[in-house]
C-alpha cells in the first residue's frame, strides 16, 4: 500500500504537472519512441494491492475488529478503481491523443487542471482510508491475549 501511495504522490508532484500543463504540445511525454509509460507501474501495482488486501481480509476474517479495519481500505480502493476506470483513464487517453483532436489549448489546460484536482482528491481519500489498515497492523484481538502475571 505504501508503494501505491508513493506512486500517487510521485505522479502528482513530478509527472502530471509538466504533462498536463501545455497540451497538446506536452503530449510528447507519452507519445513517440522515448515516451514515458507510467501505465506499466499501475498495471503491476493494482493487482498486487488488491490481492494483498483480499488475502489480508481472508486471513483476519475471524477477528471482527480487524476484518472491519481491512474492509474499509478495500472498499475505498474498489470505489477508487471504479472512478479510475470511468473517468481518470479515459481522460488520460484523451490527453495522450490531444495533438490529433480538435480541442483548444485552453480547454486542454482546464481539463488537465480539473483532472489533477480530482485525482488529488482521490489520492487523499485513498490515503485516509489506509489509516484503518495501519490500525489493523497493531492488532486488535484482545480476547486471545493472556494477561501477564504480576
Q: How far is Cα 80 from Cα 62, in angstroms, rounded to an integer?
A: 27
Q: What is the mean pLDDT of residues 55-60?
A: 94
Instruction: Please give the grid coordinates belonging to residue 108.
Output: 486542454
Please report, for residues 82, 114, 119, 125, 138, the alpha-carbon distance to residue 75 in angstroms, rounded to integers and kept in the order given.
Answer: 11, 25, 18, 11, 20
- Which pLDDT belongs to residue 137? 85
- Which pLDDT belongs to residue 150? 55
Taking phi over 0 as left and psi of -120 to 50 as alpha, with beta for the rest, 123 belongs to alpha
Q: Which of 59, 65, 57, 61 shows the shortest CA–CA distance to 143?
A: 65
Instruction: Please give the grid coordinates belonging to residue 85.
Output: 476506470
- Which pLDDT belongs to residue 99? 92
Q: How far is Cα 16 from Cα 31, in angstroms, rounded to an integer?
A: 15
Q: Does residue 83 register a pLDDT over 60?
A: yes
Q: How remote is the C-alpha of 134 from its chain's centroid?
A: 17
- Which pLDDT belongs to residue 88? 96
* pLDDT tens-digit readout, 105-134: 999 999 999 999 999 999 999 999 999 999
pLDDT above 90 covers a percentage of the chain that reads 87
- Provide CB contacts within 8 A for 65, sequence distance 6+: 140, 141
- Which pLDDT belongs to residue 149? 52
Q: Does residue 82 register a pLDDT over 90?
A: yes
- Which pLDDT belongs to residue 32? 86
In the chain, what are the domain boundaries? 2-138
The answer to whether 42 and 135 are in contact (CB under 8 A) is no
Give the CB-side neighbour count of residue 109, counting CA atoms within 13 A: 6
Amino acid at each position: 500500500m505504501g508503494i501505491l501511495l508513493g506512486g500517487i504522490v510521485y505522479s502528482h508532484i513530478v509527472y502530471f504537472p509538466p504533462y498536463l500543463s501545455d497540451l497538446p504540445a506536452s503530449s510528447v511525454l507519452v507519445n513517440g519512441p522515448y515516451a514515458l509509460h507510467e501505465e506499466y507501474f499501475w498495471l503491476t501495482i493494482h493487482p498486487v494491492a488488491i490481492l494483498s488486501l483480499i488475502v489480508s481480509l481472508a486471513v483476519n476474517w475471524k477477528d471482527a475488529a480487524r476484518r472491519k479495519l481491512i474492509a474499509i481500505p478495500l472498499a475505498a480502493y474498489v470505489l477508487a478503481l471504479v472512478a479510475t476506470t470511468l473517468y481518470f483513464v479515459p481522460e488520460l487517453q484523451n490527453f495522450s491523443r490531444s495533438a490529433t483532436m480538435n480541442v483548444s489549448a485552453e480547454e486542454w489546460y482546464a481539463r488537465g487542471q480539473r483532472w489533477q484536482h480530482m485525482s488529488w482528491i482521490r489520492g487523499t481519500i485513498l490515503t485516509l482510508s489506509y489509516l484503518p489498515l495501519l490500525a489493523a497492523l497493531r492488532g486488535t484481538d484482545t480476547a486471545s491475549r493472556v494477561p501477564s502475571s504480576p
